[in-house]
Amino acid sequence: TITDDLRVHEIPAMKVTALRFTERARARIEKAGGECLTFDQLALRAPLGQNTVLLRGPKNSREAVKHFGPAPGVPHSNTKPYVRHKGRKFEKARGKRKSRGFKVQEDVFWFRFAWFKYRSFGRERWFLFTLFQTLFQVLFFYSQDN
């Protein structure tokens, strides 16, 4: 559907093909000296598509795309869950509070990071890394209190 955009002040004379036009969009295009065509009219005028430009709207702006990605509830996931209702008892704060099933600890993230580093570092630097990690966790803990 071609709709009118008030932010665009000047429209050049052009031929536009679409399935639908709003009344205001059709009026503005024709007032500027352009034409509003259907696809069968375009096929008669340019059977091989010479001098035509195909445009398409953004395909990832669909509502369904918000549900794609890592599972909802997994740490650092922004995927929208499929829920029956948006009420108090339906997937609210799960993983954020102990009273709602479980609480994801930040230590889980650091443990995975540390294990990857352990495999890539070698054992001689492992002690320094664990010392750094412990200091960081202590600083993080004290910054949470203040």
Rounded to the nearest 10°, the torsion over CA 104, 109, 111, 112 is: 120
Side-chain half-sphere of 60: how many Cα atoms within 13 Å? Answer: 2
Tens of pLDDT, residue by residue over 53-65, are 998 888 898 999 9
Flag whether the pTM goes above 0.85.
no
Model confidence at 99, pLDDT cuts 50, 70, 90, reads confident
By DSSP bridging, strand 102-103 and strand 15-17 are unpaired
